[in-house]
Amino acid sequence: MKSFLILLVGVAIGAAATWYGPRHFAPAPAPLLPNGLPTENTEFEPVKALGRILPSQGIIEIGAVPTEQIQSIAVKVGSRVHQGDELARLASYDLLQQQIAALEAKREEALAQVAAEKALLDQQIARARLAFDEVKLGEREIQVQREQLVFLQQKLDQERRELRRLQKAPPALISAQDVERQQLLTAKTEADLQAAHRAIDTLTAKQDLALRTAQAEIDVLEASKKRIDAQAPLASLDAEIASLRAQQKRSIVRAPCDGEILEIYAQPGELVGNQPILRMADLTTMNVVAEVYEAAKRTIRPGQKVTISTPALSAPLDGTVQRVGAIVATPEMRSLNPFDPADRRVFEVEITLTPTSSEAARDLVSAPVDVTIFVKRTGPVTEAAGPKADPLPEHSTSSAADAP
The Cα–Cα gap between 107 and 241 comes to 10
The Cα–Cα gap between 372 and 34 comes to 12
Position 264 pLDDT exceeds 90: yes
**Strands, E, within 299-384: which ranges?**
305-309, 317-329, 346-353, 368-376
| pLDDT on residue 168 | 80
Residue type, 81: V
The Cα–Cα gap between 38 and 43 comes to 10
Question: Which residues 6+ apart lie within 8 Å of 147 measured at CB?
Answer: none
Tally Cβ neighbours within 10 Å of residue 380.
Answer: 5
Residue type, 220: V
**Strands, E, within 33-124: which ranges?**
44-55, 59-62, 70-73, 80-81, 86-90
pLDDT digits (tens, 9 = 90+) for 377-388: 765 544 433 444
Q: Set out the domains of the chain in order of their start, with CATH numbers.
A: 29-58+282-400 (2.40.30.170), 61-85+255-278 (no CATH), 96-238 (1.10.287)
pLDDT band at residue 25 under the 50/70/90 scheme: very low
Residue type, 337: N
pLDDT digits (tens, 9 = 90+) for 38-82: 555 567 889 999 999 999 999 999 998 888 999 999 999 999 999
Position 300 pLDDT exceeds 70: yes
More confident residue, 27 or 35: 35
Position 323 pLDDT exceeds 70: yes
Q: What is the pTM of this model?
A: 0.58
pLDDT band at residue 185 under the 50/70/90 scheme: confident
Cα 148 to its chain centre, rounded Å, is 79
Tally Cβ neighbours within 10 Å of residue 271.
Answer: 11
